[in-house]
Copies of this chain bind each other. A is one copy, B any other.
Amino acid sequence: MRVVVQDAPFDYGKEAEAFADGRHDMGAIVTFAGIVRDIAGGLDVMEIEHYPGMTEKALKKIAAEAVDRWSLGDALVIHRYGRMGAGEKIMMVATAARHRKDAFEAAEYLMDYLKSRAPFWKKEHTAQDAGWVAAKDEDEAALDRW
């Protein structure tokens, strides 16, 4: 299990490859990558603020719960903070399980929890103005299924 919180970009392909590599015991790997989308009006930059210290703790707790609940062979969470442009990767998760159902469910669980329970806040800057992204009710509701 590995949790990384950093401002620097990460290499999604290399991380996915390294995560999947050399496993003889796990038949299923799932990865998710979150990418900065260009918004209507033209996104200039996406800024992500976080709570150093709590962020790492929260992500480790969420990842450990996923590993435990789905008997994962491994789990990975990488999340950036700071400023990034449209098309840049914000974060990724990866899960390794014996069967695909567990790998998918665990990855969705990681995403649902880190989205609403890890202390990150997004601010979108356009040429005109800047605003904090509002939390969506559907993201909070997504936790109900777990």
Contact = CB atoms under 8 A, between A and B. Distances in A.
Interface of A: 11-18, 20, 22-38, 86-87, 89, 98, 100-101, 103-104, 107-108, 111, 142
Given A16-B31, A32-B103, A37 B87 contact: no
Given A20-B89, A31-B30, A32-B104, A25 B12 contact: no
A15 B31 CA distance: 13
A34 B66 CA distance: 20
A100 B28 contact: no
A41 to B, nearest CB: 13
Contact of A32 (B23, B87, B100): B100
B24 A38 contact: yes
14 contacts: A11-B17, A13-B17, A13-B18, A13-B20, A16-B31, A20-B35, A24-B36, A24-B38, A24-B87, A28-B34, A29-B35, A32-B104, A34-B100, A104-B107
A103 B6 CA distance: 25
Given A24-B36, A32-B100, 18 more contacts: A11-B17, A12-B16, A16-B17, A20-B35, A20-B89, A22-B87, A24-B38, A25-B38, A26-B35, A26-B37, A27-B34, A27-B35, A27-B36, A27-B37, A28-B32, A29-B33, A30-B30, A32-B103
